[in-house]
Structure 1
Amino acid sequence: MSQFTTKEIALISYKLKDISDTWSDLWVFLYLVPLSVGQVINLKHRNFDGKYLNLEKGARFKSVQLEAPPLICELIQRRKEKYPDDIYIFQSHSNRVKFQGKPVTVIAFNQALKIASKGITEQIVSSKSARL
């Protein structure tokens, strides 16, 4: 269960949007979908069929199929339209890797969360904090 109120989650999302729409979308995704941040940042557009998220088997994860909530379906579709060449749903657009097709990093996301959560909560906010 998330340690934050719905209002705090929404305020953090709003402040993340000022930094990057990717961070805001990732925060909402983590709040609504019961997956780890590692599984989420490695999701590719091919893993979404319009209704289901199909996670491939990895070194630490078994393959899983989840029905995506409607808000998540809209979020993925919006990201696909905005970034049509992206391979990953949450792909990095930093100058360092933007032409390499790599997912965002947990370290960068946690840095953005630290900035966005200032003045909203005294609790430590990290990529694991959003889980319901």
Structure 2
Amino acid sequence: MLTSQEFTAIYFRLQDISDNWADLWLFINQFPVAISRIINLKYTDVEGKYILFPCRRRFCEKKLLISYIALNILKRRKLRYPEDIYIFQSHSNRVKHQKKPVTMIAFNQALKKASTGITKKSISSKWGGGEFISYK
């Protein structure tokens, strides 16, 4: 597990790389679901105070209450990127004129870069669902 200081330091480094990565880093810690489900979320999956994780492959549909932190991220991202379909939509030149979510590969690369020098622990997108922080 990461300490709260490590988690926060990685967050600020991710902000320097991309607001997408920093927001995703916070967001995945808010929900006990696989990262692939979060990356593929669309704004249409938000229903008031709830977020609906649609049935996908081996995962059943799941409806969860949106935390205050996640709600702020959703509002901020919608204001910044009003044309986006996906909550974590890619804005890279690779998909310039397409509406596609970010990739786990790119996120893991950003995490590796951001965590260098902060922790010797292996950090990846597989961490999540409230498992990041140790308050020791």
Q: TM-score range by the shorter chain?
A: over 0.9
Please tell me whether the aligned partners of residues 31 and 128 of structure 2 are also in contact (alpha carbons under 8 angstroms). Answer: no
In 2: Cα distance, 1:50 partner to 1:25 partner: 20
Q: Percent identity?
A: 48
Q: Hey, what does 2:7 align to over in structure 1?
A: 9
**Runs of 4+ in structure 1 over 4 Å off:** none
Displacement after TM superposition at 1:51 (Å): 1.0
Identify the structure with bigger relative contact order (alpha carbons < 8 Å, sequence gap 6+).
Answer: 2
Q: Where in structure 1 are there 5+ consecutive unaligned residues?
A: none
Question: Which of 82, 85, 88 is the aligned partner of 1:87?
Answer: 85
1:97 to 2:95 alignment: yes
TM-score calculated relative to the size of structure 1? 0.95
- 1:130 is displaced (CA, Å) by 3.7
Secondary structure of 1:85's counterpart equals coil
RMSD of aligned residue pairs (Cα, Å): 0.9
Between structures 1 and 2, the one with greater strand share: 2
1:1-132 to 2 correspondences below 5 Å? 3-131=1-129, 132=131
- Do the aligned residues in 1 keep the contact of 2:54 with 2:60 (CA within 8 Å)? yes
Structure 2: unaligned runs, 5 residues or longer? 132-136
Aligned equivalents of 1:92 and 1:24: distance in 2?
13
Q: How many residues were matched structurally?
A: 130
CA distance in 1, matches of 2:24, 2:31: 10
Greater shift, 122-131 or 4-13, is seen at 122-131
TM-score (norm 2): 0.92
